[in-house]
A and B are shown apart, each in its own frame.
Chain A
C-alpha cells in the first residue's frame, strides 16, 4: 500500500432499510488530497461519507484511520469533521459561538478561543460578523460559518456533503474556488461529495465515480474524462457518443460501418467494444471529406459553440462545433485517432450515449435542492 494514506476503507458493505447501499467498497485516501465522490442520487456517496464520519456503522468491512481500525469509534472521537448539506448551524447561537462550539467542548482558554475563531472568520471572509444571528445570514454566508466551524477544530479530514447544493450558480463557482484555496492553504484532506460532474472536475485531485453502491472508476479528473472505464462513467462525466464497435485489430476499430484508426490496443481480435467519441472532438467537414456523413436534425446555440444532432445511419450523434450548420444539411465528420476511446463491454453498455431521445437534458445545476439521499 502507498505511504501517507490517511484513511482506508476495506471491503465496506452496508444495507439500510433492506437496500444494499454499498457493495464491498474499497477506497484509500491520501493525506492532503482533494478527493470527490461523484455519482447520481442513491449511489452510496453520502453513506460512504457518513461511515467515515462515524454516523453509520458498516455491516462489514474495516475503516482504517492512520493504520488504526476505527470501526466502533463514535463521531466525537474522530479527527474528522463534516460540512452538512444544509449546514446544520446552531440557530440558538450567534456566528462567533457557532464557530467556537468545538473549541468550547475542548475547554480551551477563552483567550485562545477568541483568537482562533477570529482567525477562522477572517479566513472565510466573515470578519465582523461575530454577533450576527445565524438566521439573518444569506446562504453563502451560512456556508462560510459552517466551513469555519468545522475547520477551527483542525480536523485531519474534512468531509463535505454537497456543500454547495443550496447555493445559486454564481455563488457556487466562487465558493468552488474558495474551497480549493482553503484546502491548499491549510493542507487538509477534503472528501467532497457531489452529483455535479463539473464541480468534481474543476476541484478534485482524484475523482471516485460511484453508481449503485459500487465504485465505477477512480482517477484524476483528466483520467476519468479522457479514459472512462465504462459507458456509465463516459455518460455521467461530460457528454459522450457511445457506439457499438468491434476491434478489428490493435489500433483499428470498426463502428458505424467504417474502420477507424485509434490508439487503443490489448483487446481480443474482433472483440465487441463500446466506443466513446466526445462531441467536442469531432471535426465537421464537407461530406466528401468526411469519414462519416449524416444529416443535421437539430441545432442549438450554446454560446461558446453550437450543439448539433447528426443522424448517421439511424444513430444520433451529438457534435459541438463553432460553425453553424443549418438543420437538414448533409455534413461530413472527421475523427482523429486520439479522439476515439475504446471501452470493454459492461453492464452499462447500450444504456447511454445515444442522443436520439435527446431533449435538452436537464442540467442538474438548475435544481440545487436535489432530494437528499440517505
Chain B
C-alpha cells in the first residue's frame, strides 16, 4: 500500500517537474497570422517561441477551431492577432476551450493589432446584404508599413509587460527594428514611385491599406459583395466597365480562388499579380514587403 502511494507520489512529482520545466522556458507566443508571427520574432528574438496559427495560403477569415490550435492556445503566454473581427469565426472558441487565463480578452497576454491603429473603411451601415463586412473597419492593416510600425511599438510594450526580465532585449530589438524599418520605408517609397496612380482590379477588398500607401487606384472588386464569389453576370459587368475605363493590373491574394482573376485577364489581357498576402514561414516582414513590391513593379513594367 505504502509503495503504491510512493509510486503515485513520484509520478505526480515527475509530472509537476515536467510542467514546471515548460513554464520556465521561453515565452510561448501564439500569432494568428504569419505577419504578426514575423514581427513578434523580430521583437522578441530568442526570448520567445512563436507559433503561427495560419500560413499565407490560408484565408484568415475562415479557419476551423482545430484541436491542434486549442492545444497551442492552452500553452500560450501571449496572443498576437489582428482583431477587428477578422478571427471572429474561430478565435473566441479557442479562447473559451483553452482554459488559459493569461490570454483571455482584457488580459495583458491578449494583443490585438487593430486596437493600436486607426482603421479605414469603417462602415456607416451594418447590413449583411452588403456582404461579410467588419463593423470596426477593414482589418487588413499589415499592408501599410506605417501602421505596422505603430503595432511594433505597442507590441514591444506588451512584451515588456508580460516579461519584464527581458525588457532591455525588447527595447533594443525595437530600436533596431525601427531603424531598419524606416530605411526600408524610404527605399520602398522611392522604388514604388512609378506605381503611384496605377489602376487596379482586386479579387477581394483586402488591399485597401496597400492602395492607400502606394497611391493605387481601385477600379473594381471581383466580388459583388465582400465574401460572396462572383457569378458570370457580375464578371461580365466588370468587363464592360473595364472596357470603358481600362485598368493596369489585377491583384489577388495567394489564398484566394484565382479563377475569376484569370478569366478577366484572358478577356482583357491585363497581367494578374498573385501576391502573398502574408510572409511565408521563414521570411521577415522586410523580405516580404520587398517581394510584394517587386511583384508589383514587374507587372507594371
Check if A and B associate: no
